[in-house]
């Protein structure tokens, strides 16, 4: 990744952060992997400063851990961490659903505006579901992240959007190593994106609630399967 033209340092910093995040999400930069600023700078052919900034950005997002003497390490998430992510997003999404579909005059206005903005989200939903049914993990991750990011952005609260996006990225970082080794991975992938969009389009609280519950219960059932050793934990298993 060599900078060209008038690329600024901040842009290069973001490019490096995005590239490394993609490496982690793809499972090529595995959990527990250690590396230094110098190694990453040499890999991308750039100076140390934007690399260091990018690595600290990823550390702030919970994807890396920094050690003053050893450099950086890809954070290792446990099954309990994953369950906690699901619990956190459930609590936040419950609040969002109540706020938008509570039945008050203001919420009805918000719900109507929300439904009008679903065109691009619906496309993401269809592509994500198609990738899930085909078991194409790489395509699914990209569309799934964009789907939830765009869906969250419609709420109009950047703090909520950023928080949920961070949780979704961390969830995929945890899940990828298991799914890569699972011969039945296609059966483990949630493909309910279109159903959720359809529920929001209807503007019915119960339908939206049911779609979100399906999303979260699917994740928790998969976590239970992992805790039971199916598939076997990667690396050194941590106490559950």
Measured between alpha carbons, how far is 202 from 102 in angstroms, rounded to an integer? 14
Alpha helices in the chain (DSSP H): 9-25, 37-44, 48-60, 79-100, 105-116, 119-134, 137-153, 158-181, 185-188, 193-202, 205-227
The DSSP output letter for 38 is H
Read off the pLDDT of residues 30-84 as tens digits, 9 standing for 90 and up: 888 999 999 999 999 999 999 999 999 999 999 999 887 789 999 999 999 999 9
**pTM across the whole model:** 0.83
CB atoms under 10 Å from CB of 88, counted, come to: 14
* Domains of the chain and any CATH numbers: 9-74 (1.10.10.10), 79-227 (1.20.120)
Q: Which two tokens stand for residue 114?
A: 């929300």
| Tokens found for residue 238 | 């941590």
User: Per-residue b/e over 135-162, b at no fewer than 16 CB within 10 Å?
Assistant: bebeebbbbbbbbbbbbbbbbeeeebbe
Give yes or no for a cis peptide into 231 (omega within 30° of 0). Answer: yes
What would the pLDDT profile of 91-117 be if each residue is shown by its tens digit? Answer: 999 988 877 776 666 666 666 776 777
Six-digit token string for 25 = 């999400």
């Amino acid at each position: 990744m060599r900078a060209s033209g008038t690329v600024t340092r901040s842009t290069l910093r973001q490019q490096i952060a995005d590239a490394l995040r993609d490496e982690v999400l793809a499972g090529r930069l595995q959990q527990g992997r250690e590396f230094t600023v110098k190694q990453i700078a040499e890999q991308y052919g750039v100076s140390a400063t934007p690399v260091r900034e990018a690595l600290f950005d990823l550390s702030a997002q919970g994807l890396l851990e920094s050690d003053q003497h050893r450099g950086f390490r890809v954070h290792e998430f446990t099954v309990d961490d994953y369950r906690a992510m699901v619990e956190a997003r459930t609590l936040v999404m419950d609040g969002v659903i109540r706020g938008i579909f509570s039945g008050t005059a203001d919420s009805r206005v918000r719900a109507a505006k929300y439904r009008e903005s679903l065109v691009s989200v619906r496309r993401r939903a269809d592509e994500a579901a198609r990738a899930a049914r085909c078991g194409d993990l790489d395509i699914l991750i990209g569309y799934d992240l964009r789907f939830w990011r765009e869906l969250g952005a419609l709420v109009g609260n950047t703090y909520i959007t950023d928080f949920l996006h961070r949780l979704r990225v961390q969830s995929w970082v945890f899940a990828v190593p298991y799914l890569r080794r699972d011969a039945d991975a296609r059966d483990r992938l949630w493909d309910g994106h279109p159903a959720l969009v359809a529920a929001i389009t209807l503007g019915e609280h119960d339908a939206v609630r049911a779609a979100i519950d399906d999303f979260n219960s699917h994740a928790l059932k998969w976590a239970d399967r992992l805790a039971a050793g199916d598939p076997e934990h990667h690396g050194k298993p941590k106490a559950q």
